[in-house]
Amino acid sequence: MNNLELTDNVSAAAKRDIFELQKKIGAFSNDEGAEEAFRKYRLTRGVYGQRQPGVQMIRIKLPYGYVTADQLVRIADCSDKYATGNLHATTRQDIQLHFVKLADSPQLWADLEDADITLREACGNTVRNVTASATAGIDPDEPFDVSPFAQAIFEYFLRNPISQEMGRKFKISLSSSEKDSALGFMHDVGLIAKMGKNENGQPVKGFKVVIGGGLGAQPFPAQTAYEFLPEDQAIPFIEAVIRVFDRYGERTRRHKARMKFLLNDLGLEKMMELVQEERTALKNKVYPVQDIAYSWKNLGERVPLAKEEILALADAQLEDSEKELFQKWLATNVFEQKQKGWYGVSLRVLLGDMHSSTARKLADVMRQYAADDLRVTINQGYLLKFVKAEDLPALFKALSQLGLADPGFDSTADITTCPGTDTCNLAISSSYGITRALEVMMKEEYPDLIYNNDIKIKISGCMNGCGQHSAANIGFHGSSIKNKKLVLPALQVILGGGFTGANSEGQMGDKVIKLPSKRGPEAMRTLLDDYQNNAYEDEYFNQYYARQTKNYFYQLLKPIADLSEVKDDEYRDWDHDELFKTEVGVGECAGVMIDLVGTTLIEADEKLSLAHEMLAEGVWADGIYHAYNTFITGAKALLIGEGISTNSQHSMVKEFEENFGKTFYPEAGDDSKPFSQLVFSINKNEPTEAFARGFVGKAEDFLKNVKAFRAGQLAENSIPALQELVYGQDS
């Protein structure tokens, strides 16, 4: 392995992470350690295996999509040096780099950390990137800027012990207004900005809080936990929810491990009771959020220009061939901010892909015409802030030269898509190919769709929903259809998701019919024509869908799905010449349960070590949670050795007590439960120094006893080599 180069800008915590990643990669390359353990580890460091063997996707975590011009250049430099020169914007406001060598990932991470960019917890069973309305801070409809709250949530849960190894990933969004533009309805926790009043009747910031939303094969809309929660209680509430999810959430059946299933099983009332029980143990009972000193905060207001004045400026500065496109761009990609006289400018990016050379030039455009605050949008575009009205024509010209001035941002013609089979292990059919075909078709046949913001189209390469197809008015996900002895690439059509109107509640779409992928444009054409010809005046697409019912649309699309005649080309996917075949790899959206007792005990040692580190630093709550995980992991190791499977931490404790209680607590009576009482005392006590030291000490004693018990088992079975591997020279 090459020596790492880290600057003084890299924090001590990040340096530790990067050196540890390099060490783990070296061990894995030398065939040391279990592959699944390494996979689980690297995922939480943003290193994700691609469909292509031997290369990785690196997911760069950008809280609420915020990136400066210098950071954008650094990401572009890293893409050139370590990847393919492409920057892929995601629906979670991340940027991904593809085809990176595993051995290069530590230095890539170090280069990013030098610019204050992290990979930590961008993937894996962690709190993923915190998303927010891209317009936060400039949204004319917002009661306040949610950006500082998104940043605070990101910082609070980064490396937080309660969210490092959950049963599945956990997603949080913050919306600027009741329009829910960050799609809180499909998140584990969605916060929607709202003003309320305190006990003295004074206005206070807060949020409507929804929980338990999610996409995937079984999409669930979130349920309302609070109509209003004061802002200083938001982070403590999220922490309590995560603690409940960590303890009670499914850990064996991966397809049932998201929080939406736990909420569905428990019910909202019981879920909220368990959340309330966690409050005693919280590190912070309230957590007020400090404002952020963005560079644009002192820009002040300007005298607004009327549209006619802006067009007059364009007439004087643009060529005749540019003027019509400028008018479309002005109408669809530009809006006046809540700050008078300033404008936000949205950039439509096909497939979310931008070349590094374009990114560098965009950074220069930012420096010249906008604030140093670029936001990645949830529909895979970008947003510039604080553009002067008189600069709009020149900005348009500059963006046009970069291919970033296409009109119709976030319109029906602006399709959201995941990379699909181009890079993803889980994808079944091409997302990129059908997206290109649909956008070309709509541009040629339905040019006015750039003005329609009510119908959203989203595409995923599989049912898991990275393209958010279930939350779209018209959605597709990749699939396959068997016809005789051959298999066709297919699209599952989903209708009626997303929003009905500007202030409607978000909802999940219905699966209507499956049809060959090559017939996607025909299906889209049929849907658009039918809606245009038969909808009532001012009737939204979802209202029309609900009025006509699912069966109407099934019958409408059924002739397109008919396989009595199939052309040879339909056995080939978009952008592919070879015959289609389903090749789904092992998904990496979450870590897999490790089934090696020794490896699990090593994990328990690591958690105990972290507990002692937190005691040394005086962070009592984190030390307690690391100790709790020491109990859980130690118990899990012995249960694995006996072939006993459990589906949650709560059931794990019960199983351990039933199977090992007498061995570890021989003095206990038949009805007493000393292990569960000890472990679950975590949420019965304030996180004081006294409780933390006592709890960590008991975890240390417990782990010593577990290791001694396991050593005895190994000795009985004459496995000294494994014993040495697990316990080393110091045990």
pLDDT at 649 over 50: yes
pLDDT in the model for residue 289: 96
Instruction: Give the C-alpha separation, 453 to 182, whole Å.
Output: 15
Walk me through the domains of the chain, giving residue ranges and CATH numbers.
12-113 (3.90.480.20), 131-294 (3.30.413.10), 306-401 (3.90.480.20), 416-571 (3.30.413.10), 597-727 (1.20.120.330)
Quick one: 680 exposed, middle or buried, by C-beta within 10 A (0-12, 13-18, 19+)?
A: middle
At 113-136, the pLDDT tens digits run 999 999 999 999 999 999 999 999
623 three-class SS: helix
Give Cα separations from 676 to 672, 679, 682 (angstroms).
Answer: 9, 5, 10
Kind plus residue range of the DSSP H or E element containing 24:
helix 12-29
**pLDDT surpasses 70 at 720:** no
Q: What is the pLDDT of residues 414-430, one digit of tens each?
A: 999 988 888 787 778 88
| Range with the poorest average pLDDT among 20-34, 99-113, 452-466 | 20-34
* pLDDT tier, 724 (very low <50, low <70, confident <90, very high otherwise): very low
Task: Give the pLDDT band of residue 590 (cuts 50, 70, 90).
Answer: very low
Mean pLDDT of 682-688: 95
Contact 25, 105 (CB under 8 A): yes
Q: Is the pLDDT of residue 501 over 80?
A: no
DSSP bridge partners of 87: 354
726 pLDDT exceeds 60?
Answer: no
pLDDT of amino acid 4? 93
pLDDT for 214 beyond 80: yes
Cα–Cα distance between 713 and 598 in angstroms, integer? Answer: 12
Identify which of 340, 341, 318, 339 has the alpha carbon closest to the alpha carbon of residue 328.
318
> Per residue in 507-524, pLDDT tens?
999 999 999 999 999 999
What is the share, in percent, of the chain residues with pLDDT greater than 90?
78
Quick check: helix, strand or coil at residue 607?
A: helix
Q: How much is the average pLDDT of 225-238?
A: 97
Q: What's the average model confidence in pLDDT over 350-358?
A: 96
Quick one: average pLDDT of 475-480? Answer: 92
Q: What is the DSSP letter of 214?
A: B
Please say if the pLDDT value at position 406 is more than 90.
yes
Q: Would you state the pLDDT for residue 161?
A: 95
Per-residue confidence at 728, pLDDT binned at 50, 70, 90? very low
Residue 592 has pLDDT above 90, yes or no: no
* DSSP for residue 73: H
At 64-100, the pLDDT tens digits run 999 999 999 999 999 999 999 999 999 999 999 999 9
Which residues neighbour 683 within 8 Å (Cβ) at sequence distance 6 or greater?
243, 277, 278, 280, 281
Collapsing DSSP to helix, strand or coil, 291 comes out as coil
Do residues 516 and 580 lie in contact, with contact meaning Cβ atoms separated by under 8 Å?
Answer: no
Question: At 492, is the secondary structure helix, strand, or coil?
Answer: strand
Strands 474-483 and 457-460 come out as parallel
The per-residue pLDDT for 83 is 97
Predicted confidence band of residue 729 (pLDDT cuts 50, 70, 90): very low
pLDDT tens per residue across span 552-563: 999 999 999 999
pLDDT averaged over every residue in the chain = 91
Sequence-distant (6+) residues with CB within 8 A of 440 are none
Please classify residue 191 by burial: count the beta carbons closer than 10 Å to its beta carbon, then call 0-12 exposed, 13-18 middle and 19+ buried. Answer: buried
Say what the pLDDT of residue 580 is.
83
pLDDT at 722: 39
Average pLDDT for residues 17-42, to the nearest whole number? Answer: 87
Q: Which helix (H) or strand (E) holds 235?
A: helix 234-248
Q: Is residue 53 predicted with pLDDT exceeding 90? A: no
Rounded mean pLDDT, 667-680: 82
User: What per-residue confidence (pLDDT) applies to 670?
Assistant: 64
Burial class (CB in 10 A: 0-12, 13-18, 19+), 653: buried
List Cβ neighbours of 690 (8 Å cut-off, separation of 6 or more).
none
Dist CA 387 CA 390 (whole Å): 9
Q: For residue 554, give the H/E element and its range.
A: helix 550-561
What is the SS3 assignment for 66?
strand
> Average pLDDT for residues 534-546, to the nearest whole number?
95
Q: ∠ CA(562), CA(563), CA(564), 5° rounding?
A: 100
Q: Tell me the one-letter amino acid at 602.
A: I
Confidence class for position 441, pLDDT limits 50, 70, 90? very high
pLDDT band, residue 605 (cuts 50/70/90): very high
Write the DSSP symbol of residue 368.
H
The model's confidence at residue 52, banded by pLDDT at 50, 70 and 90, is confident
Map 371-419 to HEC letters: CCCEEECCCCCEEEEEEEHHHHHHHHHHHHHCCCCCCCCCCCCCCEECC
Whether 31 has a pLDDT exceeding 60, the answer reads yes
pTM of the model: 0.91
**Positions of E strands within 432-568:** 457-460, 474-483, 486-495, 510-516
Query: Around Cβ 176, how many Cβ atoms within 10 Å?
Result: 26
What string of DSSP letters covers 133-160?
-TTTTT-TT-SS--HHHHHHHHHHHTT-
Contact (Cβ atoms closer than 8 angstroms) between residue 113 and residue 14: yes
Question: What confidence score (pLDDT) does residue 450 get?
Answer: 96
Q: How would you class 689 by CB atoms within 10 Å of its CB: exposed for 0-12, middle for 13-18, buried for 19 or more?
A: exposed
Mean pLDDT of 596-623: 91
The whole-angstrom separation of Cα 347 and Cα 48 is 28
